[in-house]
Amino acid sequence: MEIQVIQNRIFEVRGCRVMLDFHLAELYQVETRALKQAVKRNSERFPPDFMFRLTKEETDIVLALGVSQNVIPPGYNVGATSPMVFCEAGIAMLSSVLKSQTAIQMNISIIRAFIALRQMVAGYDELMKRIEELEINTNMQFSEIYQALTELARKKAVDDKPRSPIGYKISYDE
């Protein structure tokens, strides 16, 4: 599967990049109910920093951010139970719970998508650093220009004596 498709299903919640249970179930080609049962049977493998449930408010925000109602699988009642979300470590742990070949291959693709996101963020950080340096340099240059213009304006105010015009003088006396 294309990494971009997976990246579009990664959200940031509580400072963690996560994926929703029904998106993972779709990618692993299992029912959401089966994924949740596997997680419940192996709950010791999913501490709160690997997997957690969204609050009602978080669910509303995530749904508003791009998970439209037509993406939610039929029969999934968001109002009944909040979706489970899995951090990268929780997704890696899913490979030990869901042992199908599809789940293993999809896990590899998902982990690659998370790695690509981290690399993009690192690139953005470097870009932000360069932009800040450019802003500082530009501000210093504009400050120097402003000081020079202020000095010229001050000199002009002091030297306000009349000057003779520049150019050719045409005499009409002949």
The pLDDT tens digits for 150-173 are: 888 777 666 666 667 777 777 776
The total number of structural domains that make up the chain: 1
Dist CA 62 CA 68 (whole Å) = 9
pLDDT tens-digit profile of 80-134?
578 899 998 898 888 888 878 787 788 888 888 888 877 877 777 788 888 888 8
- The secondary structure of residue 81, as a DSSP letter, is S
What type of residue sits at position 59?
T
In a domain, 145, yes or no: no
In a domain, 33, yes or no: yes
In a domain, 139, yes or no: no
In a domain, 137, yes or no: no
- Answer whether 86's CB lies under 8 Å from 94's CB: yes
Long-range contacts of 59-65 (CB under 8 A, 24+ apart): 59/83, 62/11, 62/13, 62/20, 65/11
Q: Determine the pLDDT at residue 93.
A: 86
pLDDT tens-digit profile of 54-81?
998 888 888 777 654 445 554 555 555 7
CATH number at residue 109: 3.10.260
In a domain, 38, yes or no: yes
Q: Determine the pLDDT at residue 106.
A: 81
In a domain, 104, yes or no: yes
pLDDT at 49 over 60: yes
Q: Determine the pLDDT at residue 117.
A: 79
Query: How is residue 81 written in tokens?
Result: 């139970």
Q: Which domain holds residue 33?
A: 3-125
Dist CA 11 CA 92 (whole Å) = 17
In a domain, 115, yes or no: yes
Of 88, 29, 23, 92, nearest to 62 by C-alpha is 23
Q: Burial-class residue 165 by CB neighbours within 10 Å (0-12, 13-18, 19+).
A: exposed
Q: Determine the pLDDT at residue 108.
A: 83
73 or 32: which leads in pLDDT:
32
In a domain, 102, yes or no: yes
Q: Determine the pLDDT at residue 125.
A: 76
Of 79, 51, 48, 47, nearest to 63 by C-alpha is 79
Dist CA 31 CA 22 (whole Å) = 8
For Cα atoms 87, 89, 90, give the angle at the middle one, nearest 5 degrees. 65
Dist CA 121 CA 123 (whole Å) = 5
Dist CA 97 CA 45 (whole Å) = 9
